[in-house]
Amino acid sequence: MSVNIRQKVLQSFKTLHKTRLNVFNGDALALSEARKKINEEYKKNKHVTDQTAIEELIKYSNAVEQELKMCVIQAKEVEPGVYQATITKDTAKLDNMPFDEFASVTQSRRKTHSKCQQNEK
């Protein structure tokens, strides 16, 4: 393995662990389990020598890091039935769309009706 690839692997390993510390801050169990999983995955792929395969694994590591940063949030129950979520600057925030059950049922019926008319022809 070239020195450059080795540095990239070590950097992705360190970055994942830093992300783990930020995402699961204050949750000892999650920190421990995430640490075990990261170490396990890197040990499992330790034997890989093909440079292309290593590059793909590094890309996968980067994707996992982004997923952790953007999609994982912590929530604590502050009182029965009431939770407080920890949202970071990296957390993906989506626009809320109100759900109108009647409108979706009506639209579905229209599609079904138009398909039935096409089949009759």
- The two structure tokens encoding residue 58: 């590094």
Helix axes 3-23, 28-44, angle to 10 degrees: 160
Residue-level pLDDT at 99:
66
Provide the pLDDT for residue 7: 95
Q: Do the beta carbons of residue 38 and residue 17 sit within 8 Å?
A: yes
Q: What is the pLDDT of residue 92?
A: 82
Angle at 24 between CA 29 and CA 96, to 5 degrees: 125
Instruction: Locate the domains of the chain by residue range.
Output: 3-92
Q: Which candidate, 38, 43, 32, 44, places its Cα nearest to that of 16?
A: 38
| Beta-bridge partner residues of 86 | 74
Question: What radius of gyration do the chain's Cα atoms show?
Answer: 23
Residues of the chain short of pLDDT 50, as ranges, are 113, 115-116
What is the pTM assigned to this prediction?
0.70
pLDDT confidence of residue 21: 94
The pLDDT value recorded for residue 115 is 47
Q: What is the pLDDT of residue 53?
A: 94
